[in-house]
């Protein structure tokens, strides 16, 4: 693992917080460093304050010699890499509209919000939501593993949003698309028309 890899990781974490997708010490991120190791953010540290020295290197079995403890969600991250060889980045955020969506009383766990645009349909589609599990729990990590085996994004009830990608850009783009669609949902509510409804209107 090179210093360039570590700096790229640190800069990405700073960018995530600059974009307002996390606040305080919330959220976490990891990146596959090589076949056996990942870089992951430490617990209790904000992404914007992360330095090179803070980046925890952990093997795929969860072992680390770093002075700082890894994010308590490290099992969740490791499960994503275990189930998908193509995943290089795992990003977990607490962005405002996505979290608001995840806290709705009448949330549809099979499709958290209507699909409004063709771009969102192609890249996100019907956003799956996991029931609430305690942060850092084996149940949460196992639930995420099952969903991420099939898709690149999952909403966590009363918690946040997780995306995976083959690059930093891909994982971040997915987060921003979900966040924008969630914002549309709260703006439109009963006045909104889904993509499927728009297509039906064209055929009528």
Per-residue pLDDT band at 203 (split at 50, 70, 90): low
pLDDT tens track for 145-173: 999 999 999 999 999 999 999 999 999 99
For residues 74-98, give the mean pLDDT: 97
Rounded-to-integer distance, Cα 59 and Cα 38, Å:
6
Rounded-to-integer distance, Cα 191 and Cα 97, Å:
18
Topology of 3-203 in CATH? L-fuculose-1-phosphate Aldolase (3.40.225)
Please report, for residues 54, 125, 129, 134, 199, the alpha-carbon distance to residue 43 in angstroms, rounded to integers and kept in the order given: 10, 32, 24, 16, 46
Predicted local confidence at residue 1, as pLDDT: 75
pLDDT tens track for 118-140: 999 999 999 999 999 999 999 99
Q: What is the pTM of this model?
A: 0.95
């Amino acid at each position: 693992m090179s210093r360039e890899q570590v700096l790229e990781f640190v800069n990405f974490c700073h960018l995530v917080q600059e974009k307002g997708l996390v606040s305080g010490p919330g959220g976490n991120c990891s990146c596959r460093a090589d076949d056996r190791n990942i870089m992951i953010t430490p617990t209790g540290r904000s992404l914007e304050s992360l330095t090179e020295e803070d980046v925890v290197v952990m093997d795929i079995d969860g072992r680390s010699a770093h002075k700082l403890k890894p994010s308590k969600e490290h099992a969740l991250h490791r499960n994503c890499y275990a189930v998908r060889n193509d995943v290089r980045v795992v990003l977990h955020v607490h962005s405002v509209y996505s979290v608001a969506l995840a806290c709705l009383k009448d949330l549809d766990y099979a499709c958290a919000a209507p699909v409004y645009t063709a771009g969102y349909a192609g890249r996100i589609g019907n956003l799956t939501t996991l029931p609430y599990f305690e942060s850092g729990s084996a149940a949460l990590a196992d639930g995420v593993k099952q969903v991420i085996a099939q898709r690149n994004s999952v909403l966590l009830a009363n918690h946040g949003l997780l995306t995976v990608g083959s690059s930093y850009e891909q994982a971040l783009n997915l987060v921003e698309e979900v966040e924008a669609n969630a914002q549309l949902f709260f703006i439109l509510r009963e006045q909104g028309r889904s993509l499927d409804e728009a297509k039906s209107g064209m055929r009528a």
